Structure 1
Amino acid sequence: MSGVISLTILLVIYAASEYVSRKTNGIIDTVLTISVLALIGFWTGILPKNLFSNSGVEEFGMAIVGLMLTSLGTTINLTELKRQWKVVVIAILGAIGSCVLIVAVALLVKQKNFGVVGAPIFAGGNAATLVLLNAMRAKNMQMLSTYALAVLTFQNIIGIPIATYAMRREAHRLLQDGKSELQEKQTEMTPHRRPLQLSALFDTPIINLAKLGLVASLSYGFSLLIHGTINYLVLCFILGIIFNQLGFLNDHIMDKTASSGMITFLVTIVILASLANTTPQTVMSVLLPLLVCLIVGTIGVVITSFFTAKLFNVSREMAVALGMTCTFGFPTTMILSQEIAASTGQTETEQAALENYFLPKMITAGLVTVTLVSVFFAGFAINYL
């Protein structure tokens, strides 16, 4: 099969999966649909085993992962995180609670690796999966790679319904006796020039890509210098934050490269490439660890959220919703906030107030867990595989 046909097949599968995700408002996400379609194709023989490698995107996708992690650092708004400090702490503690319980149960049943891999992915998703898969492929851990994909694929199926239920209860509470909380003001931040900020002449798609490449390459060089003590991809994320704060990298720089869609496609293919070598027996062997990880992780978030709710004087429902954002992240955090506001508010004023209340909190919580927490947890976890 020619490379262009292989690439086209992958693009069509990705496009169909994205359509399903949009139609279901993210409940059935892109990764889940791609995984199901790809596995059906490989197991029935419709798709060739070398589909990913033959398309030519697998190796390029691995090279592009560093740029993606670097760009992720430019989405971190430190000023907003300071303003929403309670949300940040509640979300981080919720994710930590899930990780601690998952690892504790895994050690208890003498399945350490399942806990080490499952915990960071449950607490963050794609970013953690990228870091862990990179390490597991180097060690040829096929079963754990399949398990990692399974956690990534199914975590939002349990996270979204719980967060939705919690947010709906919180919305009813606010409308009944918490309307003063809906009046909180949103402060406007005045942008200021940063030390390494370049002129608008340098704000072009290819220059932005080149800047991402430079910072990713610097991260790789630094990782070699410290003998891999900190994983290269984790350093990409850290330096992405630093060079964004210095002004060298623009905020949300990936959106300005005119290639974010293609890069997202390539990185997704990298995550799912191991599906070609996944057998039905391997999938069956990870079902029980997957179920345990999802249930235990959810219990960890809920228990921790009950404590943080009391500690920071917020409702249990809001704390649980913030904690569960680790299982789905953006844009589902935005979609849920908008849908809950639209379906719960009786008037346009109430709907707008609810959306203004939920949106910044949920987006901030999802951003913190899916980026900061997951990348650092994964970078720490790979030392114990």
Structure 2
Amino acid sequence: MEMNIIMAFTIILISLAIGDIVSTKTKAFVPSVFVTAVLFIIGFWTFFPQTIVDISSLGMPGALLAMYLLITHMGTMMSVKELVRQWKTITIGVAGIIGVVLGVMTIGRLFFGWDAAVIATPPLTGGIVASIMMSEAAAAKGLDDLSVLAILVYVAQGFIGYPITALCLKKEGTALIRKYRSGEMVWEPKVETVEVPEQKSKFRIIPPVPEKYNTTYVILMRLGLVAWAAVAFATATNEIISKFVICLLFGVIAAELGIVDRKPLNLSGSFGWLMTSLMAFVFAGLARATPEMVAKMAVPLFGIIIIGVIGMGIISIIVGRVLGVSKEMAFAIALTGLYGFPPNYILTDEATKALANTKEERDFLMDQMLPRMLVGGFTTVTVASVIIAGIFIKFI
């Protein structure tokens, strides 16, 4: 039976939904992307047509539009004030990413070659956009095996990162709660949000659009203008800096100036749809993953991830010690680069629930650990992975 657009769309969403359900059921121990990737691979090896994502209308060029808008949206989430306050966390997160790069581009390169190291490094920093950028660049060069590797690294890294993060957070939480109970640490509840705040920027020059006029169309129009300007700027400069990095930077600037709202895709109700399109496009890359190719990529896949995580751990722990942050917390912050939000929140929440006896103790632990985990993930996955991909894509 020939697959039509609604059938293809529904099958893709079933695969994505099953991934979410399994992840929720296992409290994020089994990553949703891992489950969905397995389903897609099995599907492509059985009854999925190779073009199922294109048939569903979730492929190109819509996925490219989604990338432009989502990256610009991510830039608007950056609060300069919050990032300055969490400078130690940002430093440790960046140090962890540097550890990944050093590990993979030295030891990983020796074992698996230059192309594999270059293509796998940006996805290992956690970003879905970085994964797509490197996968597409590898495919354009005819490196189909390594194109699939870029997707597989993104899919598999969280599966290694989650249990290590959970262990680090439980050790850190145990030490914190012991100090709190003994009176060594004194804490008073704070009335503040741990997510990127919505406070007014001191750089704002454009007043907010009145709510009655700030419709879905107006919100998306403003975001589209910023993304359009970013792509035009990158093109005019011969893309010395990747257009995706420029989108991110333009998003930051535009939000600070008031040109676009913070989290515009959330405000317009468009985030979920664009993310669905982007995720479907990511898994479309697995159509190239034959059984022989997956078997061939297994060793470099897990070898590169393990080497990268070891490099991340060594550098982040050293920098954390210099900054007065425990090795467990420093490593946990760095590990957020493997998965970002929401797993960083879920893992922290689970650790505090397991260790706290009262609501006050749980609030104390969340206050001590969650801001660092959120900012760490935001810095590494949202910013660093796109920047690294923009640089590394020129090395293929």
State whether TM-score is above 0.5. Answer: yes
Aligned to 1:37: 39
Aligned to 2:209: 199
Paired residues for 1:187-336 under 5 Å = 191-192=200-201, 194-201=204-211, 202-336=213-347
Residues 97-142 of structure 1: CA distance to partner in whole angstroms, max 9, x if unpaired?
1111111113323601111122221122313113323423333331
2:366 alignment partner, one of 320, 344, 355: 355
8 Å CA contact 1:128–1:378 kept in 2: the answer is yes
Question: C-alpha separation between the residues in 2 aligned to 1:135 and 1:213?
Answer: 25
8 Å CA contact 1:127–1:370 kept in 2: the answer is no
8 Å CA contact 2:112–2:300 kept in 1: the answer is no
Paired residues for 1:48-127 under 5 Å = 48-59=49-60, 60-109=62-111, 111-127=113-129
Compared with structure 1, are the counterparts of its residues 245 and 140 closer, same or farther at alpha carbon in structure 2 (3 Å cutoff)?
farther
Please state how far the C-alpha of 1:267 moved relative to its aligned partner.
0.6
Task: Choose 207-216 or 184-193, whichever is displaced more.
Answer: 184-193
Question: C-alpha separation between the residues in 2 aligned to 1:28 and 1:260?
Answer: 24
1:373 aligns with 2:387: no
SS of alignment partner, residue 59 of structure 2: helix
Aligned to 2:17: 15
Aligned to 2:168: 166
Q: TM-score, normalised by structure 2?
A: 0.92
Question: C-alpha separation between the residues in 2 aligned to 1:116 and 1:322?
Answer: 24
SS of alignment partner, residue 242 of structure 1: helix
Q: How many percent of aligned residue pairs carry the same amino acid?
A: 30
Question: C-alpha separation between the residues in 1 aligned to 2:277 and 2:300?
Answer: 28
8 Å CA contact 2:28–2:347 kept in 1: the answer is no
Task: Indicate the RMSD between aligned Cα atoms, in angstroms.
Answer: 1.9
Task: Choose 180-189 or 322-331, whichever is displaced more.
Answer: 180-189
Please state how far the C-alpha of 1:26 moved relative to its aligned partner.
2.3
Question: C-alpha separation between the residues in 2 aligned to 1:134 and 1:95?
Answer: 22
Question: C-alpha separation between the residues in 2 aligned to 1:204 and 1:330?
Answer: 27
SS of alignment partner, residue 200 of structure 1: coil
Question: C-alpha separation between the residues in 2 aligned to 1:185 and 1:227?
Answer: 51
Compared with structure 1, are the counterparts of its residues 234 and 131 closer, same or farther at alpha carbon in structure 2 (3 Å cutoff)?
farther
Task: Choose 182-191 or 54-63, whichever is displaced more.
Answer: 182-191
Compared with structure 1, are the counterparts of its residues 185 and 80 closer, same or farther at alpha carbon in structure 2 (3 Å cutoff)?
farther
Compared with structure 1, are the counterparts of its residues 180 and 114 closer, same or farther at alpha carbon in structure 2 (3 Å cutoff)?
farther
SS of alignment partner, residue 354 of structure 2: helix
Question: C-alpha separation between the residues in 1 aligned to 2:394 and 2:343?
Answer: 31
1:148 aligns with 2:159: no
8 Å CA contact 1:101–1:296 kept in 2: the answer is yes
Residue identity opposite 1:162 in structure 2: I
Aligned to 2:137: 135
Task: Choose 25-34 or 58-67, whichever is displaced more.
Answer: 25-34
Residues 274-313 of structure 1: CA distance to partner in whole angstroms, max 9, x if unpaired?
2122211111111111111111111111111221122001
SS of alignment partner, residue 79 of structure 1: helix
Give unmatched runs, 5+ long, in structure 1: none
Residue identity opposite 2:25 in structure 1: K
Question: C-alpha separation between the residues in 2 aligned to 1:277 and 1:95?
Answer: 29
Residues 236-272 of structure 1: CA distance to partner in whole angstroms, max 9, x if unpaired?
1111111111111211222112121111100111212
Question: C-alpha separation between the residues in 1 aligned to 2:41 and 2:111?
Answer: 30
Q: TM-score, normalised by structure 1?
A: 0.94
1:183 aligns with 2:187: yes
8 Å CA contact 2:136–2:147 kept in 1: the answer is no
SS of alignment partner, residue 249 of structure 1: coil
Residue identity opposite 2:327 in structure 1: R
Number of residue pairs matched?
Answer: 384
Residues 185-205 of structure 1: CA distance to partner in whole angstroms, max 9, x if unpaired?
758575357113432244222
